[in-house]
A and B are shown apart, each in its own frame.
Chain A
């Protein structure tokens, strides 16, 4: 499937080059209300597979809210009401008959603050496979844990202390542990909400490297406040402002040649 090219679809502006990639997630007129308050308004965009899509925009513009739509985490917020359509591989996510529990096994999520469970490193990674029954035997589970930790670039550091508590790791290691936990259930899409904002530059660099590697296997959507980070790791960038998607396109285009004045102002730091 490729993108139709809705360049004349106001208010969002799409860049022409968007068309070349296979699409993983497609949203159409997604709006979210908290109580009566509109937090996200008519967001329509198509997110490519095996690529990193960055969501940028000033604080409170609805980036996290958008991310939570994709794995239906908004369901856990009592006041949140989501409308519109979200499709993953043309399968509707937002339907009443879709089990969010199953959906969330396909869509992993990594949060701003590393949140390992109060369990051992091993158990943290084994958590998802256990609840979804992905491993028949202990050996299979061991294998899943090991490969996930290897993919998350943490194996070398923790191989000899798998049974220490996950909370005993450093912040950067914890964030990689959480990534390992997310990929242990073989998701197709991974959502990351400001995954580096609680980390120092070195840990951030490692995570960015990891994101770049993960691009080969997953469709990644990351929220970031760092323009530099968005420029470094993402292939596509979506700019949100006041609950609306203002502009969407290949990262290079957005950063060098934005179509909208607000995008221009935001990436050059004129408002934020």
Chain B
């Protein structure tokens, strides 16, 4: 730690020195007159500072990112090599162990049976046979396999400890045992082993165990760590000095330091935007891959996913849990999303538009100056707050109201309450975007209309509104895509029943709600149930993407018209 701190400080000082030298030399090269230089003296300073600091800092950053794991790999690789005789002995004993071999054979058999049961189940489901029966069989087989796997593990541990016990109680013997333990451990145990060893070796936090093996590993880590740390610091300083020396020789009056510095700045900015874009791409691709896995797990019945009318993704995970096999027809989710979005837009579009028209055409500048930000505060209210407002206030009120009107089946969590509150949430969205659009309508059009003797509302209706219409459509589409993707309000207020209904007083579920339901709680990450969330996410992403593209196009056209 101290050595890297020292290296960083030294580099900072060197960089500053580089800047000063660069400036000084530039001034000298221009014989004291800045106008003789290609660039201002400071740019020569920056140029030298960049050469002095940048390569060295990049090296240190690489060391910081990869140094520790390199040290771990090297040190533990060393121990593993020393454990080779133990490993050989262990494998030989297991191969000779009849009990263990019998268990292995049994496992293979069960896996083969499970595979065929699974295929049968899918076939039965397709052809309308008794899928339940195969599902139960599959559950029993899984349980049996898990039992045997536990027995095998016990047997392996017994063999391993007898092998380890035979290693000599010397330092090389302990090192070999450490390597052996590390070799046998599954990956998450390996991480823990390394973490403990590092904790002992470098005081990085507290070790959870302190055994002979861990101490041996800690001792093995230290020399590698020292080597890397000092050599990284040394190489960084050397790079820095070399960079300084090289850049210094290049400074002349005609040298285009400014362009070089500009190039580096451009590169740095490009890297940051590349990070943003690549992250987005990464997310989209992972969505795509997981969706492909999901479609594979339902045997590529994509049309059933997109057009199926029945959504119940439960699949039996444990033997005693006899559920339905999953049905992944997403139409009820699409319909629920559409219903809630429709209700929300019925609220937000008229109110938002009228508010925008009032603010841009009628309100005095003073009123507008505070009313517009006040409206935009609505957009800053956390959606969770809207959610409990919908759940605790609007939902019960609507239920009672419906019951008063004689609709006895009314429920608290309904599409209507979620939709209404979501509508309120997106009002500022609509009003703010439309307000911008309306303001972009040229004043000359209004003047033309007033000069014809039109009143304000005639002008708004006949001139301003038609002129702004394309932009307003764009604004509404953006609001729709916002409503489609909104999660919190619907999770809290719309209920979870995957009802295929157009009745706003029933509870419905949306794409986003189901994604939340599928991914919360304990989950296996490769069951079709969990994977279906990714497919839903993909659908949602594609939908909002298309909406946004259309909306932006429309708005763009509108802008061009009045440039």
| A binding-site residues for B, Cβ under 8 Å | 71, 73, 76, 78, 101-105, 108-109, 111, 113, 115-119, 127-128, 131-132, 178, 181-182, 185
4 more A-B residue pairs beyond the given contacts A73-B451, A104-B452, with a C-beta to C-beta distance below 8 A: A101-B454, A102-B453, A118-B467, A131-B454
**Does B447 belong to the interface (CB within 8 Å)?**
yes
Q: How far is the CB of A152 from chain B (nearest CB, A)?
A: 15
Q: Report the 4 A-B pairs with minimum CB-CB distance, sorted nearest first.
A: A104-B453, A109-B451, A115-B444, A105-B453
Between B448, B450, B458, the greatest number of chain A beta carbons within 10 A of the residue's beta carbon is seen for B448
Whether A127 and B452, one on each chain, are in contact in the complex, defined by CB atoms closer than 8 angstroms, is yes
Between A71, A127, A182, A185, the greatest number of chain B beta carbons within 10 A of the residue's beta carbon is seen for A127
Whether B448 and A117, one on each chain, are in contact in the complex, defined by CB atoms closer than 8 angstroms, is yes
Option from B364, B365, B453, B463 in Cβ contact (under 8 Å) with A117: B463
Q: How far is the CB of A218 from chain B (nearest CB, A)?
A: 15
**If the complex has contacts A78-B364, A78-B365, A127-B462, are A117 and B445 also in contact, measured as CB distance less than 8 A?**
yes
Bound complex: CA of A115 vs CA of B447, how far in Å? Answer: 9
**Does B69 belong to the interface (CB within 8 Å)?**
no
Q: Which residues of chain B have C-beta atoms less than 8 A from A116's C-beta?
A: 448
Q: How far is the CB of B529 from chain A (nearest CB, A)?
A: 53
**Does B466 belong to the interface (CB within 8 Å)?**
yes
Whether B452 and A131, one on each chain, are in contact in the complex, defined by CB atoms closer than 8 angstroms, is yes
Option from B444, B450, B451, B452 in Cβ contact (under 8 Å) with A113: B444
Q: How far is the CB of B253 from chain A (nearest CB, A)?
A: 49
Interface residues of B: mostly helix, strand, loop or mixed?
Answer: helix
Q: Which residues of chain A have C-beta atoms less than 8 A from B445's C-beta?
A: 115, 117-118
Query: What are 22 of the A-B contact pairs (CB < 8 Å)?
Result: A73-B447, A73-B450, A73-B451, A76-B450, A78-B364, A101-B454, A101-B455, A108-B451, A108-B452, A113-B444, A117-B445, A117-B449, A117-B463, A117-B467, A118-B445, A118-B463, A118-B466, A119-B466, A131-B453, A132-B453, A178-B448, A182-B452
Q: How far is the CB of B542 from chain A (nearest CB, A)?
A: 34
Whether A71 and B452, one on each chain, are in contact in the complex, defined by CB atoms closer than 8 angstroms, is no
Q: How far is the CB of A102 from chain B (nearest CB, A)?
A: 7
**Does B172 belong to the interface (CB within 8 Å)?**
no
Q: Which residues of chain B have C-beta atoms less than 8 A from A127's C-beta?
A: 449, 452, 454, 462
Bound complex: CA of A128 vs CA of B444, how far in Å? Answer: 16
**Does B223 belong to the interface (CB within 8 Å)?**
no
Q: Which residues of chain A have C-beta atoms less than 8 A from B466's C-beta?
A: 117-119
**If the complex has contacts A78-B365, A178-B448, are A115 and B454 also in contact, measured as CB distance less than 8 A?**
no
Q: Which residues of chain B have C-beta atoms less than 8 A from A109's C-beta?
A: 451
Bound complex: CA of A78 vs CA of B447, how far in Å? Answer: 14
Q: Which residues of chain B have C-beta atoms less than 8 A from A104's C-beta?
A: 450-453
Bound complex: CA of A94 vs CA of B364, how far in Å? Answer: 23
Q: How far is the CB of A63 from chain B (nearest CB, A)?
A: 16
Q: How far is the CB of A122 from chain B (nearest CB, A)?
A: 14
Whether A117 and B447, one on each chain, are in contact in the complex, defined by CB atoms closer than 8 angstroms, is no
Q: Which residues of chain A have C-beta atoms less than 8 A from B263's C-beta?
A: none
Q: How far is the CB of B458 from chain A (nearest CB, A)?
A: 5
Whether B458 and A131, one on each chain, are in contact in the complex, defined by CB atoms closer than 8 angstroms, is yes
Kindly supply a per-residue 1/0 record for chain B positions 414-437, scoring 1 wherever the CB is within 8 Å of any chain A CB and 0 otherwise: 000000000000000000000000
Whether A185 and B452, one on each chain, are in contact in the complex, defined by CB atoms closer than 8 angstroms, is yes
Whether A71 and B451, one on each chain, are in contact in the complex, defined by CB atoms closer than 8 angstroms, is yes
**Does B373 belong to the interface (CB within 8 Å)?**
no
For A117, give the chain B residue with the smallest CB separation: B463
**Does B442 belong to the interface (CB within 8 Å)?**
yes
Q: How far is the CB of B553 from chain A (nearest CB, A)?
A: 19
Kindly supply a per-residue 1/0 record for chain B positions 527-562, scoring 1 wherever the CB is within 8 Å of any chain A CB and 0 otherwise: 000000000000000000000000000000000000
Q: Which residues of chain B have C-beta atoms less than 8 A from A132's C-beta?
A: 453
Bound complex: CA of A94 vs CA of B447, how far in Å? Answer: 19
Between B446, B450, B458, the greatest number of chain A beta carbons within 10 A of the residue's beta carbon is seen for B450
Q: How far is the CB of A93 from chain B (nearest CB, A)?
A: 13
Bound complex: CA of A44 vs CA of B321, how far in Å? Answer: 97
Q: Which residues of chain B have C-beta atoms less than 8 A from A103's C-beta?
A: 453
Q: How far is the CB of B363 from chain A (nearest CB, A)?
A: 11
Q: Which residues of chain B have C-beta atoms less than 8 A from A181's C-beta?
A: 448, 452
Q: How far is the CB of A68 from chain B (nearest CB, A)?
A: 9
Whether A111 and B458, one on each chain, are in contact in the complex, defined by CB atoms closer than 8 angstroms, is no
Q: Which residues of chain A have C-beta atoms less than 8 A from B458's C-beta?
A: 131
Q: Which residues of chain A have C-beta atoms less than 8 A from B462's C-beta?
A: 117, 119, 127, 131
Whether A76 and B463, one on each chain, are in contact in the complex, defined by CB atoms closer than 8 angstroms, is no
For B451, give the chain A residue with the smallest CB separation: A109
Whether B453 and A115, one on each chain, are in contact in the complex, defined by CB atoms closer than 8 angstroms, is no
Q: Which residues of chain B have C-beta atoms less than 8 A from A101's C-beta?
A: 453-455
Kindly supply a per-residue 1/0 record for chain B positions 349-389, scoring 1 wherever the CB is within 8 Å of any chain A CB and 0 otherwise: 00000000000000011000000000000000000000000
**If the complex has contacts A78-B364, A78-B365, are A115 and B448 also in contact, measured as CB distance less than 8 A?**
yes
Q: Which residues of chain B have C-beta atoms less than 8 A from A117's C-beta?
A: 445, 448-449, 462-463, 466-467
Q: Which residues of chain A have C-beta atoms less than 8 A from B452's C-beta?
A: 104-105, 108, 127-128, 131, 181-182, 185
Bound complex: CA of A115 vs CA of B444, how far in Å? Answer: 6
Kindly supply a per-residue 1/0 record for chain B positions 455-469, scoring 1 wherever the CB is within 8 Å of any chain A CB and 0 otherwise: 100100011001100
Between B365, B442, B463, the greatest number of chain A beta carbons within 10 A of the residue's beta carbon is seen for B463
Q: Which residues of chain A have C-beta atoms less than 8 A from B365's C-beta?
A: 78
Q: Which residues of chain A have C-beta atoms less than 8 A from B467's C-beta?
A: 117-118
Bound complex: CA of A181 vs CA of B450, how far in Å? Answer: 13
For B441, give the chain A residue with the smallest CB separation: A118
Whether A185 and B453, one on each chain, are in contact in the complex, defined by CB atoms closer than 8 angstroms, is yes
Bound complex: CA of A134 vs CA of B562, how far in Å? Answer: 31
Q: How far is the CB of A141 from chain B (nearest CB, A)?
A: 15
Q: Which residues of chain A have C-beta atoms less than 8 A from B450's C-beta?
A: 73, 76, 104
Kindly supply a per-residue 1/0 record for chain B positions 55-78, scoring 1 wherever the CB is within 8 Å of any chain A CB and 0 otherwise: 000000000000000000000000
Q: How far is the CB of A190 from chain B (nearest CB, A)?
A: 10
For B442, give the chain A residue with the smallest CB separation: A115
**If the complex has contacts A78-B364, A118-B466, A118-B467, are A128 and B453 also in contact, measured as CB distance less than 8 A?**
yes
Bound complex: CA of A128 vs CA of B448, how far in Å? Answer: 11
Q: How far is the CB of B562 from chain A (nearest CB, A)?
A: 10
Q: Which residues of chain B have C-beta atoms less than 8 A from A115's C-beta?
A: 442, 444-445, 447-448
Bound complex: CA of A105 vs CA of B454, how far in Å? Answer: 9
Q: Which residues of chain B have C-beta atoms less than 8 A from A178's C-beta?
A: 448
For B458, give the chain A residue with the smallest CB separation: A131
Q: Which residues of chain A have C-beta atoms less than 8 A from B463's C-beta?
A: 117-118
Q: Which residues of chain A have C-beta atoms less than 8 A from B455's C-beta?
A: 101
Option from B448, B453, B454 in Cβ contact (under 8 Å) with A111: B448
